[in-house]
Amino acid sequence: MKITKVEAIPFAIPYRKPLRFASGEVTEAAHVLVRVHTDDGLVGVAEAPPRPFTYGETQASIVAAVCGLFADLVIGLSPLEREQVRVRLGRTVGNPTAKAAIDMALWDLAGQSLGVSVTELLGGYGDRMRVAHMVGFAEPAEMVAEAGRVREQYGISTFKVKVGRRPILLDVSACRALREAMPDAELYIDGNRGWTAAEAARALRAMADLDLLFAEELCPADDVLGRRWLVGQSGIPMYADESVPTPGDVTRELLGGSATGVSIKTARTGFTGSHRVLAQCEGLGVEVVMGNQIDGQLGSLCSLAFGAAFEATSRQAGELSNFLDMADDLLTEPLEIRDGLLRVREAPGLGIDIDASKLAHYRTDR
Ligand code: MUC
Ligand code: MG
């Protein structure tokens, strides 16, 4: 089986309501669908979400990287030669979501050709994950109302609360209101680098009684000493997200004492790189969470496929619900969260079937 063609198709699907956080906001899912074709008629798929505020990539740059740089490097290879692909793509710096989408599409092809799911191929630990929902910036009462709606409708009881605003009291009030409204819920916070280390320390002190699971990326990665100082005084684990886009960054952050947990995002490290990150974290005795790159259903299925495959990634609820904010999606069979759970598809590969008429409607290159 040989790769014959690689496509990168930009599309845009509106959000019902924007998601706002300290480093930016998302009002539409302007993503890139990556399709890898083979000579025996199989097609592997994945999606790349441009996040300029996190990786510097745009929709146009992802299309350009996939079509102009990467396609020629993988055409002619077998989809099973994933390490060849990783090395060849690795010669270009950056472009994490473009590379990750190609990697995940290859795993999809491997699963399809062997007749097994990607979850079974990767590790086969389980067939489901608990779902965590991300609550974006709004007035505290609105944030409480959203979390309540999501709990009521989907049975989700783990919430990641976006913080990093100034004054910090706004976020402290929102977290306190959420805790009061939901005494049994699991809550954690994500600052998207919005605070200084001193602000973060004050905010953590003010929220010390809220039983937060952990805090993610409260200050910029370049605040090297400030982050170490913060870790030293925090009563809860401090997770790295934007500061760990590669396995090397994971090593630097963990051994440098700037983080004590890691958010694994398949959108940026694919399945191959995410497996390496997971192995590093397990080897060092560090907890992980399956994060979300504000993925659509396709990207969420990829996070789920990876997260369910391993015990360590199945422990905590995975961030798998951002697609709920989208007005539509591309799959013929939509994802359904029930009782706070998402189940892995049993079909071979990722089990993804793209609705051709929806793709024709939402693609922006024609
Ligand atoms: C998250 O975990 O931070 C927002 C920015 C980003 O890079 O990812 C999202 C969610
Ligand atoms: Mg984050």
Instruction: Specify the amino acid at residue 334.
Output: P
* Residue having the nearest C-alpha atom to atom 6 of ligand 1: 293
In a domain, residue 359? The reply is no
User: Does residue 327 sit in helix, strand or coil?
Assistant: coil
- CA pair distance 232, 226, nearest whole angstrom: 10
Instruction: Specify the amino acid at residue 29.
Output: A
Do 154 and 14 share a structural domain?
Answer: no
Q: What CATH number is attached to the domain comprising 304?
A: 3.20.20.120
Let me know if 152 is exposed, middle or buried by CB neighbors in 10 A (0-12, 13-18, 19+): exposed
Count up the domains in the chain and report the number. 2
In a domain, residue 50? The reply is yes
| DSSP code per residue over 290-302 | E--SS--HHHHHH
Do 142 and 106 share a structural domain?
Answer: no
Do 272 and 320 share a structural domain?
Answer: yes
Do 329 and 188 share a structural domain?
Answer: yes
Phi, psi (degrees; rounded to nearest 5) at 192: 40, 45
Give yes or no for residue 108 CB within 6 A of ligand 1: no
Give yes or no for residue 241 CB within 6 A of ligand 1: yes
Ligand 1, from 27, 51, 163, 239: best to mutate by most atoms within 8 Å of Cβ? 51
In a domain, residue 358? The reply is no
Do 163 and 138 share a structural domain?
Answer: yes
CB atoms within 10 A of CB 28: 14
Tokens found for residue 304 = 């789920």
Do 164 and 91 share a structural domain?
Answer: no
- CA pair distance 322, 19, nearest whole angstrom: 9
Q: Where are the alpha helices (DSSP H) in the chain?
A: 52-55, 59-64, 71-74, 82-90, 96-114, 118-122, 140-154, 168-181, 197-206, 224-233, 247-255, 266-284, 297-307, 311-314, 356-362
In a domain, residue 362? The reply is no
- CA pair distance 304, 126, nearest whole angstrom: 10
In a domain, residue 328? The reply is yes
In a domain, residue 355? The reply is no
Residues labelled catalytic? 162, 190, 216, 241, 265, 293
The atom of ligand 1 lying closest to the CA of 54 is: 7
Do 101 and 42 share a structural domain?
Answer: yes
C-alpha 294 to ligand 1 mean position (Å): 7
Do 250 and 201 share a structural domain?
Answer: yes
Give yes or no for residue 322 CB within 6 A of ligand 1: no
Do 97 and 52 share a structural domain?
Answer: yes
- CA pair distance 161, 253, nearest whole angstrom: 23
Q: What is the ipTM of this complex?
A: 0.98
* Residue having the nearest C-alpha atom to atom 7 of ligand 1: 54
- CA pair distance 273, 306, nearest whole angstrom: 11
Do 158 and 133 share a structural domain?
Answer: yes
Map tokens 């994500």 to a residue: 190
Tokens found for residue 357 = 């008429």
Give yes or no for residue 23 CB within 6 A of ligand 1: yes
Do 216 and 91 share a structural domain?
Answer: no
pLDDT in tens, 230-247: 999 999 999 999 999 999
Give yes or no for residue 103 CB within 6 A of ligand 1: no
In a domain, residue 60? The reply is yes
C-alpha 293 to ligand 1 mean position (Å): 5
pLDDT score of 41? 98
Give yes or no for residue 294 CB within 6 A of ligand 1: yes
pLDDT in tens, the chain (366 residues): 999 999 999 999 999 999 999 999 999 999 999 999 999 999 999 999 999 999 999 999 999 999 999 999 999 999 999 999 999 999 999 999 999 999 999 999 999 999 999 999 999 999 999 999 999 999 999 999 999 999 999 999 999 999 999 999 999 999 999 999 999 999 999 999 999 999 999 999 999 999 999 999 999 999 999 999 999 999 999 999 999 999 999 999 999 999 999 999 999 999 999 999 999 999 999 999 999 999 999 999 999 999 999 999 999 999 999 999 999 999 999 999 999 999 999 999 999 999 999 999 999 999
Q: What CATH number is attached to the domain comprising 82?
A: 3.30.390.10
pLDDT score of 345? 93
| Full domain range(s) for residue 15 | 3-114
Do 168 and 201 share a structural domain?
Answer: yes
User: For residue 86, how far is the Cα from the chain centroid?
Assistant: 20
Last residue of a domain, one of 114, 143, 169: 114
In a domain, residue 364? The reply is no
Last residue of a domain, one of 55, 81, 114: 114
Last residue of a domain, one of 72, 96, 114: 114
Buried/exposed 209-247: b ≥16 CB within 10 Å, e otherwise: ebebbbbbbbbbbebeebbebbbeebebbbbbbbbbbbb
Nearest of 26, 119, 53, 35 to residue 322 by alpha carbon:
26
